[in-house]
Every structure is written in C-alpha cells, then in structure tokens.
C-alpha cells in the first residue's frame, strides 16, 4: 500500500500511502493540492473526483514526514494521525516570539546569566509523561468558527484551552547555548512550538522554536519518504493509461 518506485499507477488511483518529505515554506494543503493535480491528470480523472488527504498537519516552517493517502487508503488517515510522532530541531533560549517560532519577530529578551547545561537537562526531564499544554494562538485551531491564527494576526485577544498530551522522550543537547538541539517523541496533538515556549518558561527564561523536522509517525520513517520533485517526476513517467 505504500507507494514506492516499484508501485504502479493503478495503486495511486485505488489506494496508496505516500510518505513525503515536506519542504520548508510549503503548507500541508499545498502538498495535497499539488499532488492532487499531478496524479488526477496522470490517471485521467477530474481533480475534484480524486480522493487524497494528509494524515496530520505539518507547519509551513517545519520540514519532514507528511503522510498522504489516496483512494480507499484515506480510510487509514485517522489511525495514522493517532500514532506517536517523532521530531528533531532547535530552539533558541533568551527570547520569545508571539507565534513561539520564526513566523513572528522577537517580542521579549531575557538574560542568560546563570543558565547551565545541567539546568537544561533537568528541565527536559520535567516534561516527560502526561502534561497540560496550551496550543499557540498562531495555530489552526477553530475559535468561534475562525482559525486562531487569523484572529492572532489581527491582534485580537485569543484564549485557547489547555489539553493533555504525552511526551515519551525529550532529549536535549545544550552544548551550544543559547541554541538547544533536541529530539522528542510525543502523542498526537502535541505542539512543539508550545513545548519550546514552555521549556524557556520553566527555566525562568524565554525560548522559541528555530527549526523543526518530523522524522517519524508511528512506524513510518522519514528515511522512506519521497522528495516532492522526485515523486512528481516519477509519477509523470507513467503512460496515461498504464495499469488502469
């Protein structure tokens, strides 16, 4: 069911799970829209009749594993979304941004005096297990029928409820302060941007996410994924009616 270089065009039409390495500055919807156009054209059906969707949003400023499902495989989306996620990235201590990442400018700066590697490792351990986490106001969560990020960009006061999430692993490398390299494995619904912000607050300091890459969703690994340009080129090598 996973689409590989040994797969046939018919598989894309009937049921495929596509492991995609989403580039930075692409939205998850951008990837779905692009592949919907390319695949539907190649299999000779109207785009609106071709079923394709993604199994878990990845922020535009993040790269890494985005799973797309086509045809009957779209029934697998919920199960994939429920699986644990793994990420790696960097965060910057000593400052905060309203979006908790690089989408917005720094709004506060803090002194790094007294900050140590030991304190950073201890802080990371404190987040393991089930925690309460409040999503960023710059997120796609619905607030009275409007996406939270749209309200936040207008400068409106956005209040979001906290939720229970779980961190199964959270490893940090604090050898190059104020930059922290990290790896995290977490439950669905976890916002790594919020984790970065909360991590800084735990240290009585500020922090924001400076880079993020999703490396796994359940048993699906980034090492098995397609570069989007290579995938499109491969799909276009099929003859229009091959295997259909």
Show the DSSP H helices in 82-130 as ranges. Answer: 117-126
| Tokens at 178, concatenated | 């104020």
> What is the C-alpha R_g of the chain?
20
| Tokens at 67, concatenated | 């799973």
* Catalytic one of 21, 30, 59, 144: 59
C-alpha–C-alpha distance, residues 37 and 11, integer Å: 16
> How, if at all, do strands 63-71 and 207-217 pair?
parallel
DSSP tag of 134: P
For 231, counting Cβ atoms within 10 Å of its Cβ (0-12 exposed, 13-18 middle, 19+ buried), the class is buried
- Half-sphere exposure for 56 (CA within 13 Å, toward CB): 30
Check if 59 is active-site: yes
Alpha-carbon separation of residue 170 from 45, 60, 88, 121, 210 (angstroms): 45, 23, 10, 9, 17
Alpha-carbon separation of residue 116 from 83, 104, 122, 205, 209 (angstroms): 34, 27, 10, 12, 19
User: Catalytic residue positions?
Assistant: 59
């Amino acid at each position: 069911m996973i689409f590989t270089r040994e797969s046939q065009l018919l598989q894309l039409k009937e049921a495929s799970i596509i492991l995609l390495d989403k580039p930075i500055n692409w939205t998850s919807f951008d990837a779905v829209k692009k592949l919907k156009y390319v695949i539907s054209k190649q299999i000779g059906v109207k785009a609106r009749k071709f079923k394709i969707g993604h199994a878990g949003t990845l922020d535009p400023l993040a790269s890494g594993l985005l799973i797309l499902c086509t045809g009957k495989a779209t029934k697998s989306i919920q199960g994939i979304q429920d699986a644990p996620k793994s990420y790696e990235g960097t965060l910057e201590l000593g400052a905060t941004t309203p979006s908790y990442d690089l989408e917005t400018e720094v709004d506060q700066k803090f002194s790094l005096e007294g900050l140590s590697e030991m304190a950073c490792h201890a802080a990371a351990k404190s987040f393991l297990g089930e925690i309460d986490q409040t999503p960023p106001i710059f997120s796609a969560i619905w607030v009275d029928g409007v996406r939270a990020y749209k309200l936040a960009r207008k400068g409106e006061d956005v209040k979001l409820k906290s939720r229970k999430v779980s961190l199964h692993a959270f490893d940090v490398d604090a050898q190059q302060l104020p930059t922290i390299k990290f790896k995290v494995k977490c439950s669905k619904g976890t916002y790594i941007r919020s984790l970065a912000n909360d991590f800084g607050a735990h240290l009585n300091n500020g922090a924001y996410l400076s880079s993020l890459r999703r490396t796994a969703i359940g048993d699906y690994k980034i090492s098995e994924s397609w570069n989007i340009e290579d995938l499109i080129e491969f799909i276009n090598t099929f003859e229009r009616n091959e295997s259909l």
